[in-house]
Amino acid sequence: MSDNIKNTTPAGSDSDAEKPDGQDGSSKEYDNEASTGKSGGMSRRKALKYLGAGTGALMIGGAGGFYGYRKSLQLSSAEASRVSKAKFVFAGGSIGSLTVAARLLRAVPGADVTIIEPREEHHYQPGYTLVGAGVYNREDVIFDQGSLMLSGMKWVKDYVEAFEPERNRVITRNGDAIPYDYLVVGLGVETNHGSVENLSKALETDFVSNVYNLEKAGKFRRMADAFEGGRAIFNYPTGYVKCGGAPQKITWLSEDLWRSKGNGLRERSDINFFTPRHTVFPAVPKVDDAVRPLIEARGIKNHFHHTLRAIDTSTRTAIFEQSSESGETREVRQPYDFFHAMPNFRTPKPLREGPLTREGIGGQLSVNRNTLQHTQYTNIFGVGDNAATGAAKTAATIRKQAPVVAGNMIDDILGRELSNSYDGASGCPLLTRYGRCMMTEFDFDGNLQSEWLYQPTRETRFWWDFKVHGLKRLYRHVMLNGYV
Ligand SMILES: Cc1cc2nc3c(=O)[nH]c(=O)nc-3n(C[C@H](O)[C@H](O)[C@H](O)COP(=O)(O)OP(=O)(O)OC[C@H]3O[C@@H](n4cnc5c(N)ncnc54)[C@H](O)[C@@H]3O)c2cc1C
């Protein structure tokens, strides 16, 4: 970890990147071996399944790892040989894709793995909140994408333009057609600035930012440092949210920063959190019960059932829609001197407008939430934020999903029942103030896991230090090397 990381005393690709509008249709094939079979029934995959039953006892990879032990990932040499004949393509060089790919290569060093990712920089996004809080510098969260590509990973530096699941291939922006036997979709989700009227314009002013993008997180930090008091507002969006704890965390850290300045700044600041939901952290009721009184005791005003609709930059006013219990709505105008403004999220265009989603899931990949297999195309799997599992969208989720995806693809190749099941486990380090964190791990239903370990209803220094100094190492050295 970089020496740049500051101590806990407060101190002083845009996901909306350009998206392709279409393709010219001039696809060229990379590999003529590509199958043209249909969903889950292509001849090449069948062939892989029946490529001889090995009896060798040599166990390759899958040596347990730090976090998981998956039987599907412990293979005989004959099984590994069958798996190595499959062509795996990963859409997105995301933490999700790379962790699955690394896990696969750990089990089968000869696996044929291709990653389609246009960007040269990979961002450690869980660190964005700490950039906004002035604990990390921008370079602390940037990895060279090439350094994350393990030996055996082929990197196609291009955008996925379209999915063609009926032909088992992906079309890139350059017009290349990349065939696969198995496809893993890990494109993440992006902020949708168009969901709030005038947000893009507001983000160019000196009073509005957010921590959902590295440049804006830096700007947020500068704004927080320069704040001299007044009305500060923070909002939570509707729909699915990447790291559903981050908008709250940055509110609480800002309050702590201004309080710690000790020059009356806190007293001059009116701090407000607006959310469409009925409470602060509904994902885990037990944690919500613990954290909400702590926050309210610090004078942060929570406003529930409020959805941000527009921003008027000329009068510095945020326009919310407030809904009542009976479902009536009314417009509420909130002036601001400082605004952490959040739009909704969406999936990248090839996913939200392509054949791999379905009605009612907000453009996400349609998967079985336990096996993470696509609901229609059995040779397609999803990992991370873009998958419609209903689980929290965090890197902690991916740590649990990656071995499930790798194991189930291997099961499928070997003609076995899918034996790995994702249980919805996710985590969230709630940074309640500088030097304090409530660490939570929970399942699909918001039930806490390993309470004895995390002590999730307590603010502790230990979990703050773990978040600041430990989790990035876990991400870089454990997840990205496939030790999950
Ligand atoms: C402010 C903030 C705080 C967070 N805090 C935490 C935390 O404390 N703990 C935690 O566990 N998680 C946290 N997260 C969430 C975590 O960072 C995400 O859940 C995780 O990064 C999602 O990974 P992913 O694999 O789904 O996709 P991402 O890592 O988002 O990657 C998506 C990749 O797809 C690529 N891509 C997009 N479109 C295309 C295309 N058309 N073709 C090819 N490639 C494409 C992108 O370039 C990118 O590399 C936080 C996130 C943010 C923003």
CATH number (domain holding residue 91):
3.50.50.60
Name the region of 306 (left: φ>0; alpha: ψ -120 to 50; beta: rest). Answer: beta
Residues 43 and 176 in one domain: yes
Q: Which domain holds residue 267?
A: 192-345
Residues 315 and 390 in one domain: no
Residue 418 and residue 426 in contact, taking contact as beta carbons nearer than 8 Å: no
| DSSP SS3 for 219 | helix
Cα separation of 23 and 95, whole Å?
A: 27
Residues 175 and 281 in one domain: no
129 in ligand 1 pocket by Cβ < 6 Å?
yes
Other CB atoms within a 10 A radius of the CB of residue 442 amount to 26
Residue nearest to atom 4 of ligand 1 (CA): 126
Residues 364 and 314 in one domain: no
> Nearest CA to 100 among 350, 414, 386, 417?
386
Other CB atoms within a 10 A radius of the CB of residue 329 amount to 12
Residue where a domain stops, chosen among 368, 384, 413: 413
Atom from ligand 1 closest to the CA of residue 189: 30
480 in ligand 1 pocket by Cβ < 6 Å?
no
93 in ligand 1 pocket by Cβ < 6 Å?
yes
For residue 60, is pLDDT > 90? no
Beta strands in 165-265 (DSSP E): 169-172, 176-179, 182-185, 190-192, 208-209, 230-235
96 in ligand 1 pocket by Cβ < 6 Å?
yes
190 in ligand 1 pocket by Cβ < 6 Å?
no
Cα separation of 418 and 404, whole Å?
A: 9
Residue 386 Cα to ligand 1 middle (Å): 9
Residues 79 and 99 in one domain: yes
Residue 226 lies in a domain: yes
Residue 469 lies in a domain: no
Percent of the chain beyond pLDDT 70? 86
Which residue is listed with tokens 């709250």?
248
Residues 127 and 248 in one domain: no
40-51 pLDDT tens trace: 334 455 544 444
Residue 447 lies in a domain: no
Residues 82 and 198 in one domain: no
Atom from ligand 1 closest to the CA of residue 211: 1
| Choice between 7 and 470, residue whose per-residue pLDDT is larger | 470
128-160 pLDDT tens trace: 999 999 999 999 999 999 999 999 999 999 999
Residues 402 and 335 in one domain: no
Residue 431 lies in a domain: no
Give Dmax (Cα) for the chain: 75
Cα separation of 452 and 384, whole Å?
A: 27
170-185 pLDDT tens trace: 999 999 999 999 999 9
Cα separation of 332 and 219, whole Å?
A: 27
Residues 207 and 282 in one domain: yes
246-274 pLDDT tens trace: 999 999 999 999 999 999 999 999 999 99
Residue 329 lies in a domain: yes
Residues 392 and 260 in one domain: no
Residue 422 Cα to ligand 1 middle (Å): 19
Q: Tally the domains of the chain.
A: 2
Query: Which residues touch 26 (CB under 8 Å, ≥6 apart)?
Result: 175
Residue 273 and residue 251 in contact, taking contact as beta carbons nearer than 8 Å: yes
Residue 482 lies in a domain: no
Residue 430 lies in a domain: no
Residues 150 and 218 in one domain: no
> Tell me, what DSSP letter sits at residue 118?
-
Residue nearest to atom 2 of ligand 1 (CA): 126
Residue 476 lies in a domain: no
Residues 160 and 96 in one domain: yes
> Tell me, what DSSP letter sits at residue 387?
B
What number of residues does the chain have?
484
Residue where a domain stops, chosen among 386, 413, 440: 413
Strand partners for 87: 112
> Tell me, what DSSP letter sits at residue 92?
S
